[in-house]
Amino acid sequence: MAAMGDPEENVSTHSYMVDGKHFVDENQVKLIERVKLVKPILDHLLQKKMLGSEMYETIAVKETSYEQMRCLLHNVIFPGSNEVKDEFCSILEEKESNLMRELRGDSAQSGETPGARKPDRVMTEDQNKVKINMKKTLDICEGHAKLSKQGKKTPVNRFYTELYLTKGGNEGVNKEHEVREIETASRTQNTQDTPINCNDIFKPLPGQEKPRTVLTKGAAGIGKTVSVHKFSLDWAEGKANQDLDFIFLLSFRELNIIKDDQYSLRGLIDYFHPEMKGENVDFEKHKVLFIFDGLDESRLPLDFESKKWSGVTESTSVDMLLVNLIKGNLLPSALLWITSRPAAASWIPRDWIDQVTEVRGFKDPQKEEYFRKRITDQNLAGRMISHVKSSRSLYIMCHIPIFCWIAASVLETMLGKADSEDLPTTLTHMYTCFILTLTTFFSQKYATNRGRKETQALSEADRKLILKLGNWLFNNWRLEISYSMKMI
């Protein structure tokens, strides 16, 4: 490789260094996803004294090239000078020449100077910021990472098992016992449903128009939130729905925190996606999807008789913004995806919903697939599968993904012991073991230097609290007394 001051190199690299900053910014997602030879880049930057030894070690210990590249860009390249960006492009040209030619070719085919801004198209820079932040915040473990023996986070794509998702959905609320309800649903799903892939949720059926607003129903723990996270991650990673310019994910649980505040739609986006703050993007000219997760947790009044509101930059109540988004008065070009438990689905009038879908959980093959993905020790996974199959109620409940996670967390601990005869065979026993697993974990986590004795004392206090809480809930259930969040 020629030295930095070599005229030959300056000529050969000038074509893609017209604006090095914009080249790196606009291609950051592809660079993070596709650059595999990160170590030589680190060595080169360290030799050029553009990277400190401490940061070198921080990046080098990352497990994947994806994580290494993301850390390098965020901590070294983006904050660095134009000289750093130019040197980065130079070493990429040598180590990843095919990728660099492809990236420059994309710009050339679109008639643009490499690295030039795109004022009349999607603001790629802003879009990439959303995608990178989405991958960082959503690509996390299920449940509590430290309950597993490894104590490591499990990426979504590592454990994700395809859920059974259908168009349509049962009306009303099923009041049967949860085991019977789930068993009934699992028996009828093959003959009465129109199954769809999660990523195709906005694709119309033959003879139908593309829906603007989709409502997805499903029982607690059935996989609604994981579905929207997987949909969003696949978009952010360039795997699906690339016709969408932006996806903004907002949970009702977080909306509750600001329900009494005043926001414009633009301000609401900035609140939930601070990476967009200060960026001048006209969302009316782009294809935007808003995902509102967990309608059943909403504390907003959702007054659909309220006045019309259409100002994107004008402030009003959060409830007013949401209602007018759903009614199409505000940003009518936007798509909306709302998830809810069945009991709360009626909070939005059916007139404002174009399509209803339902998450039905796992079919029998997916139950086994989940355990084999969740547990790296395949022998242990096989023992778990055999055990849950031996109990009718446990096997039926594994139709619900969150129950699979609970069962895996409990059985991973219990089957690892020498004496594993008293394994849970009923729902009550399984939930009790899960509570004990959680109690043990948090007792150990928050124990101080006083040691084991204090940990045992804390566990005893937890035991008494759990018994009192169980007694209170049982008495309220027996007397048919309902309780609010404040009472809990």
Q: Where are the domains of the chain?
A: 7-117, 160-359, 364-445
Highest mean pLDDT among 74-83, 189-198, 340-349, 407-416: 340-349
Give residue 294's pLDDT band: very low, low, confident or very high (50, 70, 90): very high
CA distance linking residue 253 with residue 296, whole number of Å: 9
pLDDT above 70: residue 148: no
Would you state the pLDDT for residue 350? 93
User: How do residues 418-444 score in pLDDT, each as one tens digit?
Assistant: 666 689 999 988 988 888 777 776 666
| CATH H-level, domain 160-359: superfamily | P-loop containing nucleotide triphosphate hydrolases (3.40.50.300)
Would you state the pLDDT for residue 173? 46
CA distance linking residue 96 with residue 89, whole number of Å: 10
CA distance linking residue 308 with residue 455, whole number of Å: 57
pLDDT above 80: residue 177: no
CA distance linking residue 322 with residue 328, whole number of Å: 10
Q: How many CB atoms lie within 10 A of CB 401?
A: 25
Q: How many CB atoms lie within 10 A of CB 420?
A: 13
Q: Is the pTM for the entire model greater than 0.85? A: no
456-466 mean pLDDT: 68
CA distance linking residue 363 with residue 361, whole number of Å: 7
DSSP letter at 146 equals G
Looking at every residue in the chain, the average pLDDT score rounds to 80
Record the tokens describing residue 174, joined without a space: 């099923």
Would you state the pLDDT for residue 40? 87
Give the Cα-Cα-Cα angle 65, 68, 71 (nearest 5 degrees): 150
Do the domains 7-117 and 160-359 sit in the same CATH topology, yes or no? no
CA distance linking residue 36 with residue 95, whole number of Å: 9
pLDDT above 50: residue 118: no
The candidate with the shortest Cα–Cα distance to 70, out of 30, 114, 40, is 30
Contact 384, 375 (CB under 8 A): yes
CA dihedral for 156, 162, 166, 170, sign (positive or negative): negative
Contact 320, 306 (CB under 8 A): yes
Residue, of 106 and 296, whose pLDDT is higher: 296
CA distance linking residue 88 with residue 77, whole number of Å: 8
Would you state the pLDDT for residue 115? 41
CA distance linking residue 393 with residue 223, whole number of Å: 20
Stretch among 39-53, 160-174, 304-318 having the lowest mean pLDDT: 160-174
Q: In 193-244, where does DSSP find H-type helix? A: 224-236
Question: By three-state DSSP, how is residue 147 classified?
Answer: helix
Q: Which residues contact 422 (CB under 8 A, 6 or more apart)?
A: none
Q: Which CATH architecture has domain 7-117?
A: Orthogonal Bundle (1.10)
Would you state the pLDDT for residue 19? 55
User: How do residues 54-76 score in pLDDT, each as one tens digit?
Assistant: 889 888 888 778 778 878 887 88
pLDDT above 90: residue 186: no
Q: How many CA atoms lie within 13 A of 297 on its CB side?
A: 15
Q: How many CB atoms lie within 10 A of CB 10?
A: 14
Which residues make beta-bridge pairs with 195? 166
